[in-house]
Amino acid sequence: MAQVLVVTSGKGGVGKTTSTAALGAALAHDGTKVVVIDFDVGLRNLDLVLGAERRVVFDLINVINGVAKLPQALIRDKRLESLYLLPASQTRDKEALTEDGVAKVIEELRTKFDWIICDSPAGIERGATLAMRYADAAIIVTNPEVSSVRDSDRIIGLLDSKTAKAERGERVDKHILITRYHSSRAARGEMLAIDDVLEILSTPLLGVIPESQEVLRASNVGSPVTLNNPQSAPARAYFDVARRLKGERVPMVVPSETKGIFNRLFSRNAA
Amino acid sequence: MSLFGLFRRGSAPIARERLQILLSHERVACGRPDLLSILREEIIAVIGRHASFEPDKVQIKMERGKSVSTLAIELEIPNRDQVLGAVPPSVAARHELL
């Protein structure tokens, strides 16, 4: 049974696209079929982070408009054969994104893939609301910083009211993914701690991605951090998240940059 | 800064307090009141029967601990107004001397 995930945040620049690419690759690592969809019409970037920017021929809008069939627009990753990208249009107006069109594309993808990951644009406009519209579960990417937490709270409100599931009286499973986390700064009280963020947002934790230069290094070369340096701290954190998404119970730790040493934060498991 | 702030260093406790206060207001505005904002409205109504004060001068914070959680209510009551009745003992109201 296919799972539709939305990676969302409200605020820009917190790591939605990075997380979509890293999780897509981590989930597809064992041959699970994964498609990542870029919903940022006019400002696409998932293609660039995945290193597929020169292979885009057709996009999501072309499929919705009937210009191309879905298989023509899907780009298979060169490193992982079960990972696919459905890019956003760089030129079209985001008004071309229609609710019925998105519904049809998601329905068709559900028959072909195990995981459908929708990379939401920032904001709460059409692209963002359509990215979350048909989601079964949501990953709310949050930086331990006031404006990001506030925007996440707003997005949680939208997930509870504006999604197809919410309108049917069901619930979208919501999870917090904290990114750019500095354990030491949080310990010194200079940065909101994990528990602070979870308490304020009253939403369970899916994982914590430590701040790392590996993330920028991976995007520089167009490779998800989980493929570019699987042993790095952020990659190990993303692999843990992927295992939790697949239903495994993985202790909640923040991997540190020193290889093999884990900073045990708390023994609580992800909900 | 609240009492809790005294036991923690850095600016993170301030961020946390500001967010708690801001979001309890914003959630009401977006039509999804949480426990804290419901408590806030009801506490204001109860104390309002016995004393007059600015609703904006009420700060309600919740600190969740492993075994116990604490609810702190900070309320500014102007001195010129007479406090008509006793404030319930469970309510730790702080009278600011103006």
User: Across the interface, do A189 and B8 touch by the CB < 8 Å criterion?
Assistant: yes
Q: Is A122 helix (H, G, I), strand (E, B) or coil?
A: coil
* Digitized pLDDT (tens) for each residue of chain B, 98 residues in all: 455 545 556 899 999 999 988 888 888 777 776 777 778 888 888 888 888 888 777 888 777 777 888 888 888 887 764 555 545 444 444 444 33
* Angstrom distances, CA of residue A44 to CA of A7, A92, A217: 15, 11, 20
To the nearest whole percent, how much of chain A has pLDDT over 90?
90
Q: In the predicted model, what is the mean pLDDT of residues A224-233?
A: 97
Of A153, A191, A199, the CB nearest to B12: A191
pTM, two decimals, is: 0.81
CA-nearest of A220, A219, A258 to A236 is A258
Judge whether residue A75 has pLDDT over 60.
yes
Ramachandran sector of residue A51 (left: φ over 0; alpha: ψ -120 to 50; beta: rest):
left
A264 touches chain B (CB under 8 A): no
pLDDT tens-digit map of A159-212: 999 999 999 999 999 999 999 999 999 999 999 999 999 999 999 999 999 999
How far apart are the CA of A193 and the nearest CA of chain B, in angstroms? 8
- pLDDT reported for residue A266: 46
- pLDDT reported for residue B95: 44
| Tokens 């879905």, residue located | A70
Query: How far is the C-alpha of A112 from the C-alpha of A208, rounded, in Å?
Result: 30
- Amino acid, single-letter form, for residue A37: I
Of B10, B19, B26, the CB nearest to A188: B10
Judge whether residue A65 has pLDDT over 70.
yes
- pLDDT reported for residue A264: 46
Position with higher pLDDT, B96 vs A108: A108
Widest pairwise Cα distance in chain B:
41
The single-letter DSSP state of residue A92 is S
Instruction: Tell me if ipTM is over 0.85.
Output: no
pLDDT tens-digit map of A143-156: 999 999 999 999 99
